[in-house]
Amino acid sequence: MKRFSFWLLPVVALVLASAPARADTAGSAAALFGAKSVADRDAAIEELENADPKDPLVPYALGAAGFFQSLEKLAIGLNRHGFESPRSFMLPLLRLPVPPRAEPEPLTYDGFRAILLEFRDGMEAAAARLDTVPADADIGVVADLTKLGIDLDNDGVIAPPESFAAIMAAMSGAGEDPSAPAPDLVFRFDRADGFWLQGYANFLVAQADFWLAHDFQNAFDGSFQMLFPRAGLPMQEALVPSPEDEQTGMLMSEWRLADFVSFVHLVNWPVVEPERRQTARLKLLEMIRLSRENWKAILAETDNDREWLPGPQQKGVNPLTGLEVGEEQVAAWHEALQMAEDLLEGRVLLPHFRIPAKGINMKAFFDAPQTFDLVLAITGPGVVPYLENGTLITAEEFSRIRQQFGGAGFMTFAVWFN
């Protein structure tokens, strides 16, 4: 017994020595996800950067922090130039509810590209850090989405209107009902959610890379006054109404609609960095891989503790989405992932409404890029270089998948599922 105890002492000492470090790491992660100021958040990040790198919670929390900071830097960069958020699905990167700025700084095309590039590189770094978390790590970080947020206006404070709950409500167009009870938006983020966040980071990198692959200065110069009306863009003086005029008559909103039509017309973008369009495809494929890893981890879970994205075995309506996940949705989502992968790999072709015999090879679209013209892609001439004979995805196949998501709709689940 004495000999057994003697050999056990080093093990006990190791456990006792590592336990406080784990506790400290958990405390730093909790401080990070609940910080009320940028200074508090940065202090928590510094503690995590000095923590034991072998603790899987360290890269998990730091990867999440990198994701948040990249969004924050994007918002601050846009805010600096008086950005006004659009509602268009065509500009998903630019839908952050950035508060108005009284005296915007001038913005140039190169300056806007620099903002996108910083955002893109930050997201890639966050994804790389999350990729170092072991797949089987036991992780649980509790966060309240009404408190977790980013500093949209760069005043050093993470205020309630800057919480992720408020940001998501603003981006979805949902208004707050003061008479309705506030939902409980406290979630326990686990290992599966790390795959989810890493997948979204890759998705955002792909979006940024697609923009950066092209020269879109004509669109910027001719239409971006709808986003930055007081930033000194080339068309501001001629086309942007004064604040007084904007409050009256048809100029109240129609001028932005006119600029949006101009934007669509000006999406005729030469390729200047083809490797970025190629990388965008690879990032989308990585997102698909991570979504599968996410669902593999979700379906292996045996608890049901404040799940961000529950599996069919974790019963209950999600407080954020109001939805419940069933086996039909998960199966249909995996079918959708396979369809998307087949498209991106060129194994199946995307049909075009006016070209019945051939389809668009999306792998060639990304890997052998030519000038991207949105209108000509819709009408047909813009996709001719990518047409091939082969197996086409049918409307019936996609309709069958879509029907499995019921009244909430495929896109609602897709945004949530990633």
Of residues 400 and 10, the one with the higher pLDDT is 400
Which residues, other chains included, contact 271 with Cβ-Cβ below 8 Å and sequence gap of 6+?
Answer: 213, 214, 215, 277, 369, 370, 371, 372
Report how far residue 260's alpha carbon sits from residue 269's, in angstroms, rounded to the nearest whole number: 16
SS3 content of the chain, % helix, strand, coil (to 5): 60, 10, 35
Output the CA torsion 310→311→312→315 (10° steps). -30
Q: What is the pLDDT of residues 321-347, one digit of tens each?
A: 888 999 999 999 999 999 999 999 999
Half-sphere exposure of 226 (CA within 13 A, CB side): 24
Report how far residue 140's alpha carbon sits from residue 7's, in angstroms, rounded to the nearest whole number: 32
Q: Which two tokens stand for residue 136?
A: 């089987």
pLDDT at 9: 39
Contact 67, 201 (CB under 8 A): yes
pLDDT average, residue stretch 273-294: 98
22 Cα distance to chain centroid:
30
pLDDT at 217: 98
Report how far residue 128's alpha carbon sits from residue 283's, in angstroms, rounded to the nearest whole number: 12
pLDDT average, residue stretch 16-38: 74
For β-strands 268-269 and 372-373, DSSP reports them as antiparallel
Q: Write the DSSP assignment of 6-49 as a string of letters.
A: HHHHHHHHHHHHHHHHHHHHHHHHHHHHT-SBHHHHHHHHHHHH
Of residues 67 and 16, the one with the higher pLDDT is 67
Statement: residue 3 has pLDDT above 90: no
Q: Three-class SS of residue 277?
A: helix
Terminal-to-terminal C-alpha distance of the chain: 55
Statement: residue 115 has pLDDT above 60: yes
Q: At what angle do helices 327-344 and 410-417 cross, to 10 degrees?
A: 80
Per DSSP, helices labelled H in 317-392 are 327-344, 362-367, 374-379
Contact 346, 229 (CB under 8 A): no
Q: Which two tokens stand for residue 4?
A: 């057994």
Of the pLDDT bands very low, low, confident and very high (cuts 50, 70, 90), residue 7 is: very low
Contact 232, 106 (CB under 8 A): yes
Q: How many CB atoms lie within 10 A of CB 45?
A: 20
The domain segmentation of the chain, as residue ranges, is 16-174+187-231+245-303
pLDDT at 11: 38
Of the pLDDT bands very low, low, confident and very high (cuts 50, 70, 90), residue 63 is: very high
Q: Which of 355, 360, 354 is nearest to 391 (CA)?
A: 360
Phi, psi of 392 (to 5 degrees): -100, 145
pLDDT at 327: 94
> Which amino acid is located at 146 in the chain?
T
- Element spanning 187, H or E: strand 186-190
Output the CA torsion 412→415→416→418 (10° steps). 140
Indicate the average pLDDT of the chain.
Answer: 88
Q: What is the pLDDT of residues 179-226, one digit of tens each?
A: 444 567 999 999 999 999 999 999 999 999 999 999 999 999 999 999
pLDDT at 58: 96
Q: What is the pLDDT of residues 363-391, one digit of tens each?
A: 999 999 999 999 999 999 999 999 999 99
Lookup result for tokens 């029907």: 403
Of the pLDDT bands very low, low, confident and very high (cuts 50, 70, 90), residue 26 is: confident
CA-to-CA separations, 253 to 232, 233, 250, 385, in angstroms, rounded: 20, 19, 7, 38
